[in-house]
């Protein structure tokens, strides 16, 4: 992640927040709405169950009232008292049909059957019917749901037993049972006491309505509650009455469209409702579809659970509604994500673009370009940063400019100083050489000069005395020549080592030049050298020791003549230095020139390229003299082209004054 660009990171963060936010709100929304829809459906189904119970209770009350009112009728009492059952059988059958009852029997005060509505009886006892025994016991009207065995139903009528008989049909999620058929029936049974003329109990009237395959109750509930509502060709609402776990009256349809009589409830629902007696509100798989259902137990007179009453609504319409809501939610979420992504993209662009420009500008600064400026787009933090950057950049530009100027001047100064330093160093070395050599030379010269003089005098004396002996004379001349050379060297050394200060007098330098050339006239002629003079007449008078400076000029001129050898040119210029602090006397010849190797040595005492001809002291002495005048000698030369020797002599203040005068 650290290697990703800022933009990628921002987009990633934005997207994560958007996606998490949208995901959470969509999930919560879906969950909430889904739960609300299902909750509403469950609440409705609970109410529907109440309606179903009401209808069932009404039916029970109807049966009870039919029996109660019939038991009060005079002809029943009268017939029992008079034991005229023939008439009673016909009347009772009429009443049974009118009251839509399946059973209507009269028992005597001991519970023995007097009359069965379907056919007359052999006065057997019917005391296993708990309702009848309870009425005999308490002399009150009672109604209750009860299970009548197939056997007892047969006693009533074959048709009734046949109606109660139900073949069990297995379905995918229902409880399974090895039983194939059920013969017992569920009945809403009611009984009422029959009293004689004196109010004594003379019998019991018992009426019952078989619920098995009687769809009055379930269809009535469906009509009242669901009003024939349908969804994709199916009834939305369904009602069922269970005997134990078997559908005995229902409007739930099987896949072939027939009523699902004989199918059974799921194990889960059975366990909760029938076994534990707790109502069931929730999803349940009913026959072949998922329903939102409500089940509650049906109990007999003793409170034992003998069946269930059920209402349920198809889950599909609610699921469809839920799905539509989910799709709508997802659609809104998708549009939101898209819109937010566009906003995130453009926002990050607004942030990163100026940053990119700043980055580019920073790189320019690193490369040394301080002139680059970044355009400010908005007055936000980035805009302020850009503004600060631009200001910083212009400050840097100014500082850099100053720094460059300073650097250049420093460089120049360093260069100048190093040149000066080099000069001073060279001069120091030269001065050192001179001083130590001067001291040495003084000693040597002093010691050698006297013996040399006496050798010379004696050699001359001997030479005069040996005039006749020619061959000795030759040798003696050799001694004299060599000794003369020694003497010259020693004189030179003495000159070199002489430390006495110059005797300065105001002099025009051109005069000294002219005098030197006059003295060397014969030399010049001998070497056939053309001398060119460019002497500035307006030069100031300077304070110099004329003899010494003359000696300097002589040495330099002779050197030039020697270097030219023959047919050359020597130019002598006298001028004022550019800074007007010195007089410059420039000697330029087109002679042999000095090699680079030798140029540093020419001021060294005894350095000569002229063998026996030269002593190598000429320039050393000249250097010493010029230094005594606080001047300098510079040399420029190119081998084979020629040499330029420049003598600089300082113009003292007083001398300047003179020149003006």
Joined together, the tokens standing for residue 496 give 């070199």
CB atoms within 10 A of CB 557: 24
Q: Which parts of 466-607 fold into alpha helices (H)? A: 470-497, 509-519, 521-527, 546-564, 596-599
The rounded Cα 230 to chain-centroid distance in angstroms is: 57
Distance CA 586, CA 534 (A): 10
- What pairing do the DSSP bridges indicate for beta strands 201-210 and 305-314? unpaired
Closest distance to ligand ATP from the beta carbon of 433 (Å): 13
Nearest to residue 255, comparing CAs of 219, 288, 291? 288
State yes or no: residue 631 binds Mg ion (CB under 5 A).
no
Q: How many CB atoms lie within 10 A of CB 476?
A: 18
Q: Whose CA is closest to 163, among 221, 218, 99, 212?
A: 212
Selection from ligand ATP, Mg ion, none that 560 binds (CB < 5 to 8 A by kind) is ligand ATP
Query: Which of residues 389 and 603 has its CB atom nearest to ligand ATP in the complex?
Result: 603
Q: Which span (37-45, 172-180, 360-368, 602-610) binds ligand ATP, by CB under 6 A?
A: 602-610
What three-state secondary structure class fits 233? coil
Nearer to ligand ATP, 150 or 593 (CB): 593
Report in angstroms how near the CB of residue 591 gets to Mg ion at its nearest: 12
**Contact pattern from residue 531 through residue 570 relative to ligand ATP, giving x for each residue in contact according to CB under 6 A and a dash for the rest:** ------------------------x---xx--x-------
262 vs 642 by CB, closer to ligand ATP: 642
Q: Contacts with Mg ion: how many residues (CB under 5 A)? A: 2
Exactly one of 120, 183, 577, 608 binds ligand ATP (CB under 6 A); that residue is 608
Is 506 within 8 Å of 578 (Cβ atoms)?
no
C-alpha span between 538 and 342 (Å, rounded): 91
Among 250, 263, 559, 588, binds Mg ion (CB under 5 A): 559
Among 111, 116, 109, CA closest to 126: 111
CB 332 within 8 A of CB 351: no
Strands 568-576 and 529-535: parallel
445 binds ligand ATP (CB under 6 A): no
* Interface pick for ligand ATP out of 114, 313, 513, 617 (rule CB under 6 A): 617
Which part of the chain contacts Mg ion (CB under 5 A), choosing from 163-171, 258-266, 282-290, 554-562?
A: 554-562
Phi then psi for 287, rounded to 5 degrees? Answer: 60, -75
Q: Which is nearer to Mg ion, 243 or 559 (CB)?
A: 559
Q: How far is the CB of 473 from Mg ion (least distance, A)?
A: 32
Query: Which is nearer to ligand ATP, 144 or 637 (by Cβ)?
Result: 637
**Using the rule CB under 6 A, is 195 a contact of ligand ATP?**
no
Q: Which stretch binds ligand ATP (CB under 6 A): 38-46, 324-332, 376-384, 617-625?
A: 617-625
Residue 646 in contact with ligand ATP, rule: CB under 6 A? no
Q: Per-residue x/- mask for ligand ATP, residues 14 to 53, rule CB under 6 A?
A: ----------------------------------------
> Which lies closer to ligand ATP via its Cβ, residue 256 or residue 613?
613
* C-alpha span between 104 and 113 (Å, rounded): 11
CB of 631 to ligand ATP, least distance (A): 17
Cβ neighbours around 130 below 10 Å, total? 16
149 in Cβ contact with 165 (< 8 Å) = no
Give the CB-nearest residue to Mg ion: 618
Give the binding site for Mg ion (CB under 5 A).
559, 618
Residue ranges that bind ligand ATP, judged by CB under 6 A: 555, 559-560, 563, 589, 591-592, 594, 602, 607-610, 614-620, 643
């Amino acid at each position: 992640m650290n290697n990703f660009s800022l933009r990628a990171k921002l987009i990633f963060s934005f997207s994560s927040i958007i996606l998490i936010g949208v995901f959470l709100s969509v999930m919560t929304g879906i969950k909430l709405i889904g739960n609300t829809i299902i909750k509403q459906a469950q609440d409705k189904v609970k109410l529907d169950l109440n309606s179903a119970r009401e209808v069932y209770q009404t039916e029970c009350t109807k049966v009870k009232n039919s029996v109660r009112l019939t038991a009060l009728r005079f002809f029943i009492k009268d017939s029992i008292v008079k034991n005229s059952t023939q008439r009673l059988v016909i009347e009772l059958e009429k009443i049974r049909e009118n009251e839509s009852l399946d059973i209507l029997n009269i028992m005597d005060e001991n519970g023995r059957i007097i009359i069965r509505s379907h056919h007359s009886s052999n006065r057997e006892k019917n005391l296993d019917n708990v309702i009848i025994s309870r009425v005999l016991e308490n002399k009150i009207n009672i109604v209750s749901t009860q299970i009548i065995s197939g056997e007892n139903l047969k006693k009533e009528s074959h048709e009734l037993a046949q109606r109660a008989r139900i073949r069990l049909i297995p379905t995918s999620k229902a409880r399974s049972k090895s039983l194939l058929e059920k013969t017992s029936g569920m009945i809403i049974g009611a009984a009422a006491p029959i009293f004689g003329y004196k109010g004594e109990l003379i019998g019991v009237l018992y009426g019952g309505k078989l619920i098995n395959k009687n769809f009055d109750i379930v269809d009535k509930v469906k009509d009242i509650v669901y009003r024939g509502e349908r969804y994709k060709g199916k009834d939305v609402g369904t009602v069922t009455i269970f005997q134990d776990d078997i559908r005995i009256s229902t409007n739930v349809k099987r896949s072939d469209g027939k009523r699902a009589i004989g199918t059974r409830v799921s194990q889960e629902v059975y366990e909760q409702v029938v076994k534990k007696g707790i109502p069931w509100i929730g999803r349940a798989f009913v026959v072949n579809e998922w329903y939102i259902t409500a089940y509650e137990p049906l109990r007999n007179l003793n409170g034992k659970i003998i069946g269930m009453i059920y209402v349920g609504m198809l889950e599909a319409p609610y699921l469809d509604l839920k799905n539509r809501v989910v799709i709508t939610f997802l659609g809104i979420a998708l549009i939101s994500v898209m819109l937010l992504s566009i906003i995130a993209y453009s926002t990050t662009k607004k942030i990163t673009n100026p940053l990119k420009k700043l980055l580019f500008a920073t790189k320019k600064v690193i490369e040394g370009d301080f002139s680059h400026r970044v355009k400010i787009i908005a007055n936000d933090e980035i805009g302020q940063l850009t503004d600060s950057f631009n200001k910083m950049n212009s400050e840097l530009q100014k500082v850099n400019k100053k720094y460059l100027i300073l650097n250049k001047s420093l460089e120049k100064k360093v260069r100048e100083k190093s040149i000066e330093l080099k000069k001073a160093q060279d001069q120091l070395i030269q001065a050192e050489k001179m001083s130590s050599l001067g001291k040495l030379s003084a000693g040597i010269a002093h010691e050698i000069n006297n013996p040399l003089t006496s050798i010379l005098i004696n050699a001359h004396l001997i030479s005069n005395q040996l005039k006749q002996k020619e061959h000795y004379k030759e040798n003696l001349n050799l001694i004299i020549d060599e000794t003369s050379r020694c003497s010259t060297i020693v004189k030179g050394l003495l000159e070199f080592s002489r430390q006495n200060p110059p005797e300065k007098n105001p002099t025009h330098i051109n005069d000294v030049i002219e005098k030197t050339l006059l003295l060397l006239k014969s030399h010049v002629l001998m070497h056939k050298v053309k001398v060119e003079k460019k002497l500035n007449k307006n030069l100031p008078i300077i304070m110099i020791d004329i003899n010494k400076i003359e000696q300097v000029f002589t040495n330099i001129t002779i050197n030039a003549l020697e270097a030219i050898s023959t047919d050359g040119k020597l130019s002598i210029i006298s001028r004022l230095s550019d800074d007007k602090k010195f007089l410059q006397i420039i000697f330029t010849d087109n002679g042999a020139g000095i090699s680079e190797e030798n140029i540093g040595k020419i001021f060294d005492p005894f350095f000569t390229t002229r063998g026996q001809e030269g002593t190598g002291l000429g320039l050393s002495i000249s250097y010493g003299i010029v230094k005594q005048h606080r001047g300098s000698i510079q040399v420029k030369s190119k081998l084979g082209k020629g040499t330029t020797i420049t003598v600089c002599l300082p113009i003292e203040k007083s001398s300047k004054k003179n020149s003006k005068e």
